[in-house]
Chain A
């Protein structure tokens, strides 16, 4: 459960005419992690794609064109189509798509093109409507040159000074001008125009008033737009009719191509193929059975090695990385695998921490929030998230909320006995409680015969000292587990001796630190006198020195530098209390503002009090998710993982087909 699944390396060898069938079987099993065949093995070449590949690729190309023409988007509720039907109908369908759709798409493109031309024509004509001239009056002169275009400022003054004869037309804003000058003066006129920022505008064809031409253009455009809508409607109908099938056939063809290209990752000789793969040892029998019943003598499986967890040699660590890691966590701790993935995939020969953090993380989360009023919404949100979400990220957040919520409720009821920042039972400190609010006396504990189930042992704000103390102990336990896992890792990989030097020293140091911590609390906080013969002092110092000696031998002087780090690791766990406190403080503030200060005003003030209450607690609720979630996971990542986790493994990635738009019978 803690270790990834044991893997076996196999070599699957057979004659080439069995290759296609073999690939199909491997895809069906979902347990075969293919290893790319090295390209430089003597006597072997890489396999070539199956014959189906090129044909399917061609069809796929056509289908994707259709998909683009029809502008198919992801349908909301894909209705899967049986793969068999897709296979049977695909050729006919592609042929009919080509005739049916290409006509419609062709006319659509034509209309779009013509519409673009008309737009341009309208833009060209627009400025001419401002001048009182017909279109034919701008051209076909023998002795006159015409300049038409836009200017930045009116050239009229300068023209008057330099030219004897000219005729200038301008629109109201004097930005668009038409200048008529004798041919002899053309050069001079152009010079003046350029000085005024002239840029020429092409003369549109046509005769008569430009408005009339514009009207004609508008008329044609309206007709075209109507036609465009019709075509668009046709396309939409086609899309509605065909999109499910197009998507299904695209998926089916992609699968065909993927399967047909699998031989590229295998080795080949003239007549045979060689597949190199990792299989979980559990799934090996199934693979063998499947191959021997379906393929008979044609394909042979050679068992290369059952991989143990030892590092063969320090220099060969690169080999270990090639073994894929298949996590083997039972539900529900497999939901926490992604949290480990975020840091790194565990290696094949190390403990997968997912199941361990699936215990500690919810406990930490629950301790930090510890309030029934927030715990129940956490559970509901988490449950809904697990039901609805599909992405890894959201599922992980939902998991954290759901299990964290469960512990939040447990601690909220039994340890802290509070909901929404108010204790159930009457308080000795005179703050608002559910008892004082509802006017009924809620008990401090429920007696069941000999057992008494407490409801609220501590108050987050008033029992700070003991809660800090508890949180440090939780941290020590957590760190011990971390070191123990580290010890197990090293022992498994490199033997007990290495484990003793690398990890056991640290366990002794931590144990020594624990004795000294208990002593320090007595002396510094409870102010008891210290005796030099105190057993805790002697044991603590002894363990510390012994541990350091072992570590010094194993790891060198680096240990001295890491020692303060271990101390800060332990203190780091006080955040379990600190965050709980800060939330309780905020809740207390909002409760007393709304219930004690605003609500007694009566009338409208009660509504205001309820508003403050809701907004305040909503804020705390969101803060609780962020702070408790982040700090809860941080304690795992930083304090815990650093003690044993290396990561950098290769994720198990078996050959398999995932279908969305098609179903396989």
Chain B
């Protein structure tokens, strides 16, 4: 039993960790480009923000998976 619980916890950790990593990898270049575009034209703030947060949904998927796994644990 203890081993199973432990494995679930590890799985949850991997789910949210890798998802976060993926989101970060995707978001980095977008953010850099958005800041560059904004430096040239202030009005692009809104569009830049929008493009930048799109990949961030990935980490929410990971988090939801982790939460669902964690619910199996407790």
The chain A residues found within 8 Å of chain B, CB to CB, are: 342-344, 464-465, 468, 525, 568, 571-572, 574-575, 578, 581, 634, 637-638, 641
Contact = CB atoms under 8 A, between A and B. Distances in A.
B50 A343 contact: yes
A571 B56 CA distance: 12
Given A568-B57, A572-B60, A637 B49 contact: yes
B63 interface: yes
A571 B61 contact: yes
Contact of A574 (B45, B53, B54, B64): B64
A344 B64 CA distance: 32
B71 A575 contact: no
A575 B60 contact: yes
A342 B46 contact: yes
A468 B54 contact: no
Contacts of B50: 343, 634, 637-638, 641
Contact of A343 (B47, B54, B60, B70): B47
Nearest to A472: B64
Contacts of A574: 60, 63-64
B9 interface: no
B67 A468 contact: yes
A465 B70 CA distance: 11
The 7 A-B residue pairs whose C-beta atoms are closest, nearest first, are A343-B46, A342-B46, A634-B53, A572-B57, A637-B50, A578-B63, A574-B64
Given A343-B47, A637-B49, A637-B50, A464 B57 contact: no
Contacts of B60: 571-572, 574-575, 578
Contacts of A525: 68
Contacts of B53: 634, 637-638
Nearest to A578: B63
A571 B67 CA distance: 13
B71 A464 contact: yes
Nearest to A467: B67
30 contacts: A342-B45, A342-B46, A343-B50, A464-B67, A464-B70, A464-B71, A465-B71, A468-B64, A468-B67, A525-B68, A571-B57, A571-B60, A571-B61, A571-B64, A572-B60, A574-B60, A575-B60, A575-B63, A578-B60, A578-B63, A578-B64, A578-B67, A634-B49, A634-B50, A637-B46, A637-B49, A637-B50, A638-B50, A638-B54, A641-B50
Interface in B3-54: 45-47, 49-50, 53-54
Contacts of B71: 464-465
Contacts of A342: 45-46, 49
Contacts of A343: 46-47, 50
Contacts of B57: 568, 571-572
B46 A344 contact: yes
Contacts of B63: 574-575, 578
A641 B57 CA distance: 16
Nearest to B49: A637
A344 B54 CA distance: 18
Contacts of A344: 46-47
Contacts of A464: 67, 70-71
A63 to B, nearest CB: 31
Contacts of A634: 49-50, 53, 56
A76 B45 CA distance: 32
Given A344-B46, A572-B57, A578-B64, 16 more contacts: A342-B45, A342-B46, A342-B49, A465-B71, A571-B57, A571-B60, A574-B60, A574-B64, A578-B63, A578-B67, A581-B67, A634-B50, A637-B53, A638-B50, A638-B53, A638-B54
A342 to B, nearest CB: 4
A525 B54 CA distance: 28
A633 B46 CA distance: 11
A571 B61 CA distance: 7
A343 B46 CA distance: 4
B61 A568 contact: yes
Contacts of B68: 525
A568 B57 CA distance: 7
A342 B50 CA distance: 11
A626 to B, nearest CB: 13
A344 to B, nearest CB: 6
A344 B43 CA distance: 8
Nearest to B46: A343
B58 to A, nearest CB: 9
Most buried by B among A525, A581, A637: A637
Contacts of A581: 67
Contacts of B54: 638
Most buried by A among B45, B46, B50: B46
Nearest to B16: A578
A468 B68 CA distance: 10
A468 B57 CA distance: 15
Contacts of A571: 57, 60-61, 64
B68 to A, nearest CB: 8
A465 B45 CA distance: 36
Contacts of A641: 50
A641 B64 CA distance: 24
B65 to A, nearest CB: 10
A640 B47 CA distance: 14
A444 B47 CA distance: 45
B33 to A, nearest CB: 17
